[in-house]
Structure 1
Amino acid sequence: MNILWDFDGTLFDTYPAYSSIFSRVMGGESDEKEIYETLKVSFSHAIHFYNLSENQLREIAALENNLSPNDIQPFEKVEEVLKFADKNVIMTHKDRKGVMSILEHYGWEKYFNEIVTIDDGFPRKPNSAAYQYLHEKHHIDLAIGDRELDLIPAKELGIKTCSFQNQHVVADYYLANYSDFFKTVGEFIK
């Protein structure tokens, strides 16, 4: 099975750190749970929702760049799924340097055949160009993401989809945690 992964909120639990950063930049005036939910739609949605200024966006970027890989934890049992897959690829809006620092910190770079980041020049999700590139090259069987915009491109290309920790999007499969991967996606992988 060849799996296309989103990064933030799918492989790694990054949203608590990002929610904290947003809250700090906004002076603690917004509830971190609300920020978390807004970020789960998309970063651009959160930026517009909170009407952040250019100065605030620069401050958020600087604080994100100062995050340590220790601040970002992988989801429990996701490594078992990575080991199971024949091929794993990533498509993320995160920059390559940030992705690689986290993967290398956990020793996970070995699990990925290819990583497409914002640095590769593809349009942002939900545009399907990066997914199409990865699908043509790696014959993707399943796309896993935590947001609707992660799954829309896969659906356009006829790739099965799996929503992680999000029942609010239409997907072929839903996972609350990776312990349930083989039970939930079992009939597909047989």
Structure 2
Amino acid sequence: MNILWDFDGTLFDTYPAYTEIVRGVLGDQKISDEEIYLQLKVSFGNAFQHFSLNEDQVKTVRMEARKLRPQDLMPFPEVEHVLKIADKNVIMTHKERDDVLSILSYHNLNGYFTDMVAGDDGFPRKPHTASYEFLHDKHKIDLVIGDRVIDILPAKKLGIRTCLFQNRTPGADYYLSRYKDFNKIIK
């Protein structure tokens, strides 16, 4: 099975750190961390618009996110189990390539990935299908795993099976709350 993975919120539990960054930019506004987290899980652009962040605030969020150290971002438990059983793993992320490679290397996961399309590779952002088409043509993707609807929309358009991780929004072929259960849902 060849799997296309989203990175943030799917392979690595990054959204708590991103929530903290947005909290710092918003300051003392009476907005809960849960609301920030939920808006970020839709998309960064959605959160920036929802909280009416100006251009300088958006730049600050992006700059602070790039400053996160690999040891501050942990892979989800049992994700390595799924990586091991896949024939091929590829990544499609909006995160910069160097940041992804640094995090994967720090956690000794870089050897599991055959290919990647990163945010600085020039492809349109999700939910555009271009990066998914590129990876699918090259690697014959069987399954796309993501934590947000925008992660699975391109796959649905291309007829690729989808799995939402820690998200029960209707539309995916499979749902996983933890990677330990991967074998139970994917037969």
Query: Do the two structures share a fold, i.e. TM-score over 0.5?
Result: yes
The residue number in structure 1 matching 2:64 is 63
Distance 1:92 1:121 in 2: 12
1:152-181 deviations in Å (ceiling 9; x for gaps): 110111100000000014100000010110
Distance 2:62 2:125 in 1: 18
CA contact (8 A) 1:163 1:169 kept: no
Distance 1:94 1:36 in 2: 18
CA displacement at 1:28 relative to structure 2: 3.9
Gaps of 5+ in 2: none
Distance 2:60 2:135 in 1: 33
Which residue type is aligned with residue 126 of structure 2? K
Distance 1:79 1:62 in 2: 29
Distance 2:46 2:146 in 1: 17
The residue number in structure 2 matching 1:18 is 18
Which residue type is aligned with residue 156 of structure 1? K
Give the 3-state SS of the residue equivalent to 1:161 in structure 2: strand
1:165 is aligned to 2:161: no
1:6 is aligned to 2:12: no
Give the 3-state SS of the residue equivalent to 2:182 in structure 1: helix
After superposition, residues 1-190 of structure 1 pair within 5 angstroms as 1-29=1-29, 30-185=31-186, 187=187
CA displacement at 1:131 relative to structure 2: 0.4
1:2-54 deviations in Å (ceiling 9; x for gaps): 00000000000000000000001110422111100000000000000001011
Deviant stretches of 4+, over 2 Å: none
Give the 3-state SS of the residue equivalent to 2:135 in structure 1: helix
1:50-96 deviations in Å (ceiling 9; x for gaps): 01011111221221122111111100000010011000000001111
Distance 2:53 2:32 in 1: 15
CA displacement at 1:132 relative to structure 2: 0.6
Over the aligned positions, Cα root-mean-square deviation in angstroms equals 0.8
Give the 3-state SS of the residue equivalent to 1:74 in structure 2: coil
Gaps of 5+ in 1: none
Identity of aligned residues (%): 55
Distance 1:169 1:144 in 2: 14
Give the 3-state SS of the residue equivalent to 1:88 in structure 2: strand
TM-score (norm 1): 0.96
Which residue type is aligned with residue 131 of structure 2? A
CA contact (8 A) 1:147 1:169 kept: no
Give the 3-state SS of the residue equivalent to 1:151 in structure 2: helix
